[in-house]
Structure 1
């Protein structure tokens, strides 16, 4: 049996290391599809797993760490102008990521019995909601922040002639990324979380 505090520290170190690798090793955490637009990220999967395995507090902490790294990268090695405009803002960088981790933990707690079907459904929903929470909050906070002067953001998005509301433009431009991330996270979360949960139970028993 492993001491719970020691186990939690070890799990924290593992998740921090994974997110560091995803952030700084090319084409692991961020995959660029369209030049000039934010990359598709696989990190919501890691945050979803953190919440599923360790609960909402842990999930929120891992999400916050991801947000801090997003802001660090936006200042030190941004990949596009949109990332600069979005993720140098502390609210846009931190709130969606932290909330996504918290949501992952809250939903993941519903998988409490031994039914494989129930766990699959719960973890699939967890992955989907984790990714969508991040995407929708980024879109929502960005639209509020730039509501009074959207010109710089619209120019960087190539939407200067678009008269639609800013939130609709953001959804249309970033929607492909969000959909791909949500599907990716929803499919892989149960496939990874269920065997890891079994390993953790054996280690703690």
Structure 2
């Protein structure tokens, strides 16, 4: 039991270190394409891999860590005005991150005893789900939070008229980022998780 706890603690420490590097070093965790819009983030890949390796509970806590870090970053060093407006809100910053940490762990748990080919497909699905969960819930929660005061946010999302529904503007402005993140995470997750699982089984 002590050996397993030590192994889990070591894995968590490694992933926290990777996460901090992604957060603190420019163009590793957040790749900025358009200066006025939120960056494409590679952090869902880290969250997906950790949750698949450690399970849904650990993944949820990692998601909480991500959400709080995202909110702190919005207050201390926001990369753009939209991120500042969105992620200074606790609900928008934390809830999508928590769910993004929970869902891949649940997928991994449900397919843990399946044959290897099914597991690899599930890792791909889990990677896509992690990114899409983050994007979809950020869009939905933002549209709810800013429902009564959308004009200011609309002005920073792009050239939208005042009559444009906020959720439509968010889907157009943030949707492409979300799709790129989802494809990237879906492709890379099984490439990393499959050999890591084999190594971890050997070390007990």
Tell me the TM-score range normalised by the shorter chain: over 0.9
2:178 corresponds to 1:178? yes
1:2-48: per-residue Cα shift (whole Å, max 9, x none)?
A: 71111111111111111000001111100001120000000000000
TM alignment of 1:1-205, pairs within 5 A = 3-113=3-113, 115-204=115-204
Q: Is contact 2:157-2:169 (8 Å) kept?
A: no
- Give, in whole Å, the separation in 1 of the partners of 2:159 and 2:103: 32
Worse overlay, 160-169 or 65-74: 160-169
The answer as to whether partners of 1:2 and 1:203 remain within 8 angstroms in 2 is no
Distance 2:131 2:92 in 1: 15
State the Cα distance separating 1:63 from its structure 2 match: 1.1
Give the number of aligned pairs: 204
Q: Which secondary structure does the structure 1 equivalent of 2:110 belong to?
A: coil
Q: Distance in 1 between matches of 2:71 and 2:32?
A: 18
Give the Cα–Cα distance (whole angstroms) in 1 for the partners of residues 7 and 31 of structure 2. Answer: 32
Unaligned runs of 5+ in 1: none
In 2, the alpha carbon distance for the partners of 1:116 and 1:99 equals 26
Q: What's the offset of the Cα at 1:106?
A: 0.3
Aligned-partner Cα distance in 2 for 1:75–1:10: 30
* TM value normalised by structure 2: 0.96
Q: 3-state SS of the aligned residue for 1:109?
A: helix
1:113 deviates by 3.8
